[in-house]
């Protein structure tokens, strides 16, 4: 697949004012629809598959997966209530394929082993997945030969000497703990049994997905304008990690 195909759904969605307005109120960070579409383009997704969308927030990734690929998605999140997502999925007409559910990934998941073809997660895994235990705890839920695909914000390169000076006014210690580089994440995943290949790379949509987020009236987006101006393309990345399960 060519790079120019990787965001066709998102670009079409954003070609109407309704689409733009919908995204403005449902984005919770860099445009998750765009990130999901790019990451999904690296997976062989068939319409009879079942996907766990872990940390789905307001469900932009679930929407993309259902509408573009026709898969069944469990839209699992901690901060956004399943009732809110159910109302949104009904309004979008995808409630038969997108099943909202409340989970805390740090406390274990309420699913059968080998239930999912793909575990998909956008802009959430860095909150709960930084331990050596998390990936091994998730592998059993995915069928052998299935995929765990995660996209997260992080550093282009792990900064030597801590947070760069110009970012310090915006970055709390808690934020900093969640930020790591592609190399750091690949190293963490490499220590895990039960996965075969790891594709770890920076995503092409980094700049555009952040720019789209900053158009949102969400107070968190307004607050992020300062850090994105200070960062100016020098430090941040969106990292894609894809592993194939082997047990
Ligand atoms: C920045 S928001 C991104 C939401 C959505 N994926 C998006 O990109 O628009 C981070 C999401 O991670 C989810 N999250 C954080 N910790 C979690 C946990 N322990 N279990 C499940 N979800 C979690 C939150 O509920 C929140 O919706």
The per-residue pLDDT for 197 is 85
The predicted-structure confidence for 69-85, as pLDDT tens digits, reads as follows 999 999 999 999 999 99
User: Domain-by-domain residue ranges, the chain?
Assistant: 3-245
3, pLDDT greater than 80: no
CA distance 144 to 130: 23
From the CB of 28, is ligand 1 less than 6 Å away? yes
| Ligand 1 pocket mutation, candidates 38, 77, 205, criterion most atoms within 8 A of CB | 77
| Ligand 1 pocket mutation, candidates 127, 210, 213, criterion most atoms within 8 A of CB | 127
Write the CB contacts of 133 (distance below 8 Å, at least 6 apart in sequence): none
Cβ atoms 243, 195 nearer than 8 A? yes
Taking the centre of ligand 1 as the mean of its atom positions, its distance from the CA of residue 165, in whole angstroms, is 28
| Ligand 1 pocket mutation, candidates 35, 78, 151, 205, criterion most atoms within 8 A of CB | 78
From the CB of 151, is ligand 1 less than 6 Å away? no
Cβ atoms 41, 66 nearer than 8 A? no
Taking the centre of ligand 1 as the mean of its atom positions, its distance from the CA of residue 170, in whole angstroms, is 21
Q: What is the DSSP string of 140-176?
A: GGEEEEEEEEEEEEEESSPPTTSS-GGGTTT--HHHH
106, pLDDT greater than 80: yes
From the CB of 94, is ligand 1 less than 6 Å away? no
The number of residues making up the chain comes to: 247
The per-residue pLDDT for 2 is 46
Taking the centre of ligand 1 as the mean of its atom positions, its distance from the CA of residue 28, in whole angstroms, is 9
The predicted-structure confidence for 143-169, as pLDDT tens digits, reads as follows 999 999 999 999 999 999 889 999 999
Element (H, E) at 69: helix 60-69
Element (H, E) at 184: helix 182-190
The per-residue pLDDT for 4 is 54
Higher pLDDT, 238 or 176: 238
What per-residue string of b and e applies to 36-46 under the rule 16 or more CB within 10 Å gives b? bbbbbbbbebe
From the CB of 105, is ligand 1 less than 6 Å away? yes
Neighbour count for residue 155 (Cβ, 10 Å): 19
- Indicate the class that CATH gives domain 3-245: alpha beta
């Amino acid at each position: 697949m060519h790079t120019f195909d990787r965001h066709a759904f998102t670009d079409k969605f954003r070609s109407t004012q309704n689409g733009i307005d919908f995204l403005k109120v449902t984005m919770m960070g860099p445009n998750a629809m765009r990130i999901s579409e790019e990451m999904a383009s690296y997976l062989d997704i068939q319409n009879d598959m079942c996907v766990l969308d872990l940390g789905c927030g307001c469900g932009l990734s679930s929407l993309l997966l259902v509408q573009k690929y026709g898969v069944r998605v469990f839209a699992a999140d901690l901060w956004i209530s399943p009732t809110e997502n159910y109302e949104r999925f009904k309004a979008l007409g995808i409630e038969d394929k997108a099943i909202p559910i409340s989970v805390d990934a740090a406390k274990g998941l309420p699913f059968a082993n080998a239930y999912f073809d793909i575990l998909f997660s956008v802009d959430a895994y860095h909150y709960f997945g930084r331990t050596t235990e998390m990936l091994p705890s998730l592998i059993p839920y995915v069928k052998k030969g299935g995929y765990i695909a995660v996209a997260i914000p992080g550093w282009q390169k792990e900064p030597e000497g801590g947070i760069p000076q110009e970012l310090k006014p915006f970055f709390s210690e808690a934020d900093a703990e969640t930020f790591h580089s592609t190399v750091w994440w690949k190293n963490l995943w490499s220590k895990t049994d039960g996965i075969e290949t790891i594709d770890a790379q920076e995503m092409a949509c980094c700049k555009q997905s952040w720019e789209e987020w900053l158009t949102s009236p969400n107070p968190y987006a307004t607050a992020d304008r300062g850090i994105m101006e200070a960062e100016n393309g020098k430090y941040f990345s969106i990292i894609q990690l894809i592993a194939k399960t082997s047990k």
